[in-house]
Amino acid sequence: MRCPFCSHVDTQVVETRESDEGDVVRRRRRCPSCDKRFTTYERTEIALPSVVKKDGTRAEFDPAKIHASMTLALRKRPVSVEQIDAALERIQDKLLNSGTKEVPSTKLGEFVMRELKRIDKVAYVRFASVYRSFEDVDEFRQLIRDI
């Protein structure tokens, strides 16, 4: 950590404390060059990729939108909230592990469909029928045959 007073590159940690919630680490540092002390705070930053929509616009990944879509598809189905949360967690893990800064909305939709197919076939068909916007009945039949 660079000293904010003299810009010396090598500072020493004198004291370390975690916040009550455990999500922030506070460090007191001392600069051996100018002997001044200062405080730094460390927070975990999770960088999920931004979503590139079909029209080319970009938006932040919003897990609440995915959760709402999945909940709507799973409406009146025997699926627990824990199962939905676990599926959403798997989708976020895939996005984090992809290492990309952007993900097309179509790929995100495929992740959601894969999770819904795993959880509940009826919800999968519901979501796919809206997401894929079928032009005719034959395309829809093909989807059902694939299940």
Write out the chain's pLDDT in tens, 147 residues. 899 999 999 999 999 999 877 778 999 999 999 999 999 999 877 778 999 998 999 999 999 999 999 999 999 999 999 999 999 999 999 998 888 899 999 999 999 999 999 999 889 888 887 776 666 667 667 767 777
Angle 93-98-100 from CA coordinates, rounded to 5°: 125
Residue 89 domain flag:
yes
Asked if residue 23 and residue 60 are part of one domain, the reply reads no
pLDDT at residue 134, as a whole number: 64
Asked if residue 79 and residue 19 are part of one domain, the reply reads no
Asked if residue 79 and residue 102 are part of one domain, the reply reads yes
Residue 5 domain flag:
no
Asked if residue 77 and residue 26 are part of one domain, the reply reads no
Asked if residue 39 and residue 60 are part of one domain, the reply reads no
Asked if residue 126 and residue 57 are part of one domain, the reply reads yes
pLDDT at residue 145, as a whole number: 73
Number of domains in the chain: 2
Give the Cα separation of 116 and 123 in Å (integer).
6
Asked if residue 127 and residue 59 are part of one domain, the reply reads yes
Residue 111 domain flag:
yes
Residue 39 DSSP code: E
Q: What is the span of the domain harbouring residue 18?
A: 12-43
pLDDT at residue 137, as a whole number: 67
Residue 3 domain flag:
no
pLDDT at residue 5, as a whole number: 96
Asked if residue 133 and residue 66 are part of one domain, the reply reads yes
Asked if residue 55 and residue 21 are part of one domain, the reply reads no
Residue 49 DSSP code: P
pLDDT at residue 79, as a whole number: 93
Residue 7 domain flag:
no
Closest listed residue to residue 53, CA positions, set 102, 114, 124, 125: 102
Bridge partners (DSSP) of residue 43 are: 24
Asked if residue 78 and residue 141 are part of one domain, the reply reads yes
Six-digit token pair at 109? 């939709």
Only one residue has tokens 């705070």, namely: 41
Residue 58 domain flag:
yes
Asked if residue 90 and residue 26 are part of one domain, the reply reads no
Asked if residue 89 and residue 128 are part of one domain, the reply reads yes
- Alpha carbon distances (Å) from 141 to 124, 134, 145: 14, 10, 6
Q: pTM of this prediction?
A: 0.64
